[in-house]
Every structure is written in structure tokens, then in C-alpha cells.
Amino acid sequence: MFALLASLPIVLVIVLMVGFDWPARRVMPVGWLLALVLAGFVWRMPPAWLAGASVAGALSALNILVIVFGAILLMNTLEGSGAVAVINGTFRGISADRRIQAIVIAFLFVSFVEGAAGFGTPAALAGPLLVSLGFPPLAAVILSLIGDSTAVSFGAVGTPITGGVARILDSDAVRASLAQYGWSWEIFVRQVGLWSAISHAVMGTLIPLVIVFVMTLLFGRGNAIRDTARVAPFAIFAGLAFTIPYVGIAAFLGPELPGLLGALIALTLTIAAARRGFLVPAEVWRFPSEEKRPEAVQPDEMPPKGERNLGPFAAWLPYTLVAILLVITRVQQFGLKRLLTAPGVTLAWEQILGTSLSYRLQPLYLPGIVPFIAVAIAAIPILKMERRVVREAWIRSVRQIVPAMIALVFAVAMVNVMRFSGNNASGTVDMLKSLSLAAAAVLSPVWPMVAPFVGVLGTFMTGSNTVSNVLFSGFQYEVAATAGISRVVVLGLQVAGGAAGNMICVHNVVAASTTVGVVGEEGRIIRTNAVPAAVYALIVGAIGSLAVYVLVPGLY
């Protein structure tokens, strides 16, 4: 009975979002209110804890929102300056083969933008770029959304992990459990990122091949297998150029940089290879509609627009600065991390409203401020921006963050109420624990196969891997603990599944469709991308099963 009641807030969120198309900003306050009522009247959670859990959740959401705002601000600043047009222009002339263009732009460029900004930005940027190169608008949306998957776990410099998983699970109980195992909190977060990257590795390597197959199958001449096989060596090379550094960076540098640096490395290698013809098929593949088009007007040769006389170096410099600042502030050997996280520069609220809950804000270490907002400000003189353009970028960024602010504040508050409902007068375990006990009793032997699909569902519902992790990380952690399997591996599967769900989440589909003018095709796009998303989750689950039962059965 308690498990059934505990599931009601999550079920309500799913029903309202999926069944009634309510936006997250309307759904999450309702979900929080239902959780509050259940926690107060069924779990008999004291008023101080109800208020404290809600306030602590709202404050934790603030940290996430600062990152999101900084990422959006930097993107809007670069777009207003003309730097984005120049960056787009660097992809022209790489190859006339549409398969090569799709791999470089729909996978690697999308992954780079995801690592830097996330939150729906990549497909919305890559779609118009592909259309300007001559791709059918529908193809541009479908391919960009498929490509926006592997890097999503580390989008906006790791927000789904640092702002999702870590924010939700950071509690005295979890830290005490880690201490007994011999891990620090930092090791735990890095391990979640590592196992997410490992879970992604196989499908991440194959995604370029999937992109080409979908493109040639739906928009080609009916020879999809042959056309895909001919470019397979280059596609696998591009995939490995991304996933090898991606996993290595997750292992040695943490969850902030795998998407950003992995894609930057892969872009450098892959573009150089394409320009030299390395592994590039001799036969150039184009869309059937281009066969009668004169060669002189091929979109590949059209000059980029809106550059404002910026050179590629200046256009790419802000992102280069972001990467450099993230490295020197995250790698312990540089010594800056200790200074930026020192007590003197940390804002803290202990024992919120008389509870044992606490809140910490480290403004100089929060990626939204350093480097995103800092680089956005530095870009103004570097890119010689007019005051009017700068003002418009800030105003647009504030408007974009408002819907996310409402959804995130109430989503984290709802989950916090559910997590801490165990602080009650009835002696009943908390709502998430009640859910996990029921799930583990039924599905524990196959939970590694189930976990990624929970992540997919969360992202499909909310439009965000970060919010999916906010909703389900506590649940996944408790199921793994109850079932006696590795918690970090299961959390990695949650994060990886949420990334796969990015291909079909309604928010991204609508945004990407709108930017290229194919509004009304959202259902077709979701149906098409549901297949690669499901295959992605299945392979991730298989890797997770191998890990928890064979490779690392005793891992925390």
C-alpha cells in the first residue's frame, strides 16, 4: 500500500505530461503539492521537515539554474556576435559527401555544443546548419536528435551528473555509506560519470553509423545497407575518435569535460581525416533530389553568411577559453580547485528551518559563473559586440530560463520531500525507499536492463536528462542498494538511458522542428527516433548487466 501511494506523484507527473501534454512548468508544482500532501498526512512528516525539504530542494535547483543560464547566455552571446555563423562556416567544404557531413555535424558538432551548452541547444543549432548545406529539413531534425545522445550525460559541462545525480543524492546518509566503503564524495561522483561513459561507449561508437543508415534508408535511393557499408570505416573512426577520449576524460578528469573535450578532439581528427580523404568513400553520396542540380550551385560551396568579418580563431576562442578554464579549475594538480572551494568563498546554510538539511553554494566553482558567464562577458570586447546586441542576448537568456526555473525548482523540491519523508513520527521508511523495495522485490534480477528505460522515460517526460536524474536518481540508488547490486553502475545506466531519451523528448523535437520549419511532423520524428533510442537503451542495459553480475559485482 505504501509503495502504491509513494508512486502517485511520479505517476501523476507522467500522466499529465504524456497523456495530457502539460508542460513541465505546470506539472511539477502539482507533483510537488501531491508529494507534500502524502508526506504530511500519510507519512506524518513534521511541518518543519516538509518546509525544510522543499526549501533545500529549491535552493539546490538554483545551482542547476545558474549553470543552465550561463550556458544559454554564452550561446546567445556568440549567436548575436556572428561567431556561431563563422563556426557553422568552418564545416563547409569538408566533403561533398552527405554521409560525411552528417557524421561531422549531426554527431560531432552536436556533441560539442551539447558538452558546452546542452538543454536543447545542439539540435536547434545543427538543424538549420544542415538545411543550409542542402539537407531535407526533416532529415536535419531526425539526424541531429539521434546524434544528440552520447554526449548528453555530460551536457553543459556535466550538469546531468553534477546538477542532477549529485544534487539529489548528496546527504549525510549517502556520505556515511561511502565513507564505510572507503570512498569520498568526489570519487563517488566521478565513478557515476565513468560508468555512464562506459555504458555509452559501444553505442556512442556506433551512432555515426546509425545516423548514416537512417539517412540513407529514409532519404536515399533504397540502397541503405550498401550506402552505409561503404562509409562504415569512416563512421567507426569518427565514433572511436570521440568515445576513446570521452571515456578517458571521464575516468581521469571527472564528469564536466567528456562531452566538450571528447567532441573537440574528435572534430579535429575527423575533419582532418575527411579533408585528406582518409577512409572516405570514392563515390560521393547525395540526396536523390540533388541529382539534377547543377554542380556549380551545390550547397557545399555556398559562402557562410552573417560572419561580421570574424575569423575562425576569434569565433572559436570563447569555447576554447571555456575548455581551458574548466581544465585548470577541475584538475587538482593546478591547485585552483582548493582555492575556489575554500570555506571563505562558500555560501552555506546549515540546519535549514530546524532540520539536519544544509545548502552550499560555491559561486567561483559553479560552471555557470566560471567559465560560462565569465567567458560570455569576456567575449564582448573579443568579438567587438555592440551594446544593443549584448543587451538582447541577456534579455533572451533570462526569458529562456524562466520555464526551466519553475520546472526545476518544483521537481527538486518534490523529490526532496519524497526522499526525506522518512523523517516522520510513524516509523515508515521514506517514499523512495518504499518504491525501491517494491521494485527490487519484483525486478531486481533484471534491473540493469530496466534502469536505462527509466532514464529514457524521465527525459521523454521532462525534456531534460538533468531533470530525469533529479526525478529518478534517488529511486535508482535505493533499488540498487536493496537488490544488492552496484549503485554507481545503476546510476550510470540511469544517466545513459536519460541521454538516449533525448532523441525522442518532446521539448527537443518541437524546438528542432520549429527551427527548420517542419512543425507538425513531431509525431513522425518521435516514431522514427524511438527505434534507435530503444536499441540504445537495450545495449546500455546489456553492458550494465555484464558489469554488475560479471565484471564488478562488488562495486559500490
Is the distance from CB of 228 to CB of 209 less than 8 angstroms? yes
What is the distance between the alpha carbons of residues 190 and 385, in angstroms, rounded to a whole number?
Answer: 38
Burial 200-219, CB ≥16 within 10 A → b, else e: bbbbbbbbbbbbbbbbbeeb
Distance CA 422, CA 435 (A): 13
What DSSP character marks residue 360?
Answer: E
Q: What is the pLDDT of residue 292?
A: 54
- C-alpha to C-alpha distance for 453 and 62, rounded to whole angstroms: 28
Are 161 and 192 within 8 A, CB to CB?
yes
Backbone angles phi, psi at 118, to 5 degrees: 65, -160
Distances (CA, A) of 510 to 123, 126, 142: 10, 14, 11
Side-chain half-sphere of 351: how many Cα atoms within 13 Å?
Answer: 1
pLDDT at 247: 97
The residue type at 56 = A
Rounded distance, CA 449 to CA 454, Å? 10
pLDDT for position 460:
81
Q: Give the DSSP H/E element, type plus range, for residue 430.
A: none
pLDDT at 18: 67
Helices (H), 134-184: 137-147, 155-159, 166-169, 172-181
- pLDDT per 10-residue tile (average), the chain, 556 residues: 88 81 83 95 94 92 81 85 83 87 94 78 77 87 95 89 90 93 95 96 96 95 93 97 96 91 94 94 89 44 51 86 80 80 91 91 86 91 92 90 82 86 86 82 90 89 81 90 94 96 81 74 85 96 96 94
Query: So what's the pLDDT on residue 305?
Result: 43
The C-alpha cell that represents 309 in the structure block = 568579418
